[in-house]
Chain A
């Protein structure tokens, strides 16, 4: 069973539709037992970090998510919430990755947020099997995770190279939206869904 974590920052419908197009079904849930039982967990996200964290805390989901051993995929805000803390309203996050989430430099002369299709490179891990270097993926974000030891894909914007994707053990995450990234995104989602338990 694939579980999509239900919380107050979702583009849950888009993720569900993408899974359906790939021939998978999923359960949208915030139930601790259901999430623990799932073979794969997807943690989508669009919205604001501190509001999302407050909600996750209020439904006691944080420890459950941190303790999961099954393949887990955080998307966009769902990636940022896995980090240590975020510049967005100076918010403490869940901490699966001991790295910060920082804001793009608004004085860089680039338009912020970073919206649109950008290329990803230095691809590592099974998540990017059959994905070519410099493939285009769809991004929408104002905050980013700097390149770090966990980085498995990079992207460049506003004068910095940042993490398009990170991985630690069973936790995978993408800053871009695979569910909105056309056929490349579908390949990435498919790769995630085919990961073996480790």
Chain B
């Protein structure tokens, strides 16, 4: 049976892992390659690296990091952060990344989704949608959510549900759905949001933002219909051990890779 995936996310800046609360207030959480190895050994199903380095040397340092990760771990991993062109993707994939995640460019130039999925296959195209509650988007008594870009700094005026369908129709292979309202708050994933997005597309949805305890994962898999769940700080700071989480989910009849 297909297992629900547990995905630690590493926000990377100059090769170090960092983590913020609500997208700001960064603090150091260790060497990215070492942390990747630890997670891979401890039962993570996949890893996501989001590079937030903002220098001209960015691509060079990131491609070195991707090579080192690829040499070290034997599970799939996704790389994102400032990936904007077919050439960027080509570099990351040839350095050993399995998937790339794109965010701002999906909004600015949605044609790129089709181009990437045609060139490299849809399996490696992850559209990272950062969304925030906005009452102006409420419809039929349901909560409205708006798409944000540029690390959550720019509101786009796009409806999250419409845009999720658009990226799916254009050839995205997976959606990484982050609730900015929940990110770093540890109050649980956005269940209703995740469920509505997951039901509206036939590609896997990775829920992100809000994991604070093991029950939150159970809720997002059972009620949120997520195919995978992503978290950062609870893993980085050892608040939840991946194997404990998986045993807990297994005890609750959720299929996981043990």
Which residues of A are in contact with B by a Cβ distance under 8 Å?
Answer: 11, 13-14, 17-18, 20-21, 46-48, 106, 111-119, 136, 138, 140-141, 156-157, 177, 179-183, 185-186
- For residue B243, give the distance in angstroms from its CB to the closest CB of chain A: 13
Which residues of A sit under 8 angstroms from B202, Cβ to Cβ? 106, 111-112
- For residue B58, give the distance in angstroms from its CB to the closest CB of chain A: 20
Q: How large is the interface on B (under 10, 10 to 19, 20 to 34, 35 or more residues)?
A: 20 to 34
- Interface SS of chain B: helix, strand, loop or mixed? loop
A47–B70 CB distance below 8 A: no
Which residues of A sit under 8 angstroms from B1, Cβ to Cβ? 118-119, 156
Which residues of B are in contact with A by a Cβ distance under 8 Å?
Answer: 1-3, 5, 40, 45, 67, 70-71, 74-76, 93-96, 98, 118, 120-124, 173-174, 202-204, 227-228, 257
- For residue A181, give the distance in angstroms from its CB to the closest CB of chain B: 7
Which residues of B sit under 8 angstroms from A17, Cβ to Cβ? 70-71, 96
Which residues of A sit under 8 angstroms from B173, Cβ to Cβ? 113, 115
B2, B93, B174 — most chain A CB neighbours (10 Å):
B2
B74–A181 CB distance below 8 A: yes
Q: Which residue of chain B has the shortest Cβ distance to A107 in the bound complex?
A: B202
B74–A180 CB distance below 8 A: yes
- For residue A153, give the distance in angstroms from its CB to the closest CB of chain B: 15
B122–A117 CB distance below 8 A: no
Partner of A182 from B40, B120, B122 at Cβ < 8 Å: B40
Which residues of A sit under 8 angstroms from B3, Cβ to Cβ? 116-118, 136
Which residues of B sit under 8 angstroms from A116, Cβ to Cβ? 2-3, 5, 45, 204, 227-228
Q: Which residue of chain B has the shortest Cβ distance to A112 in the bound complex?
A: B202
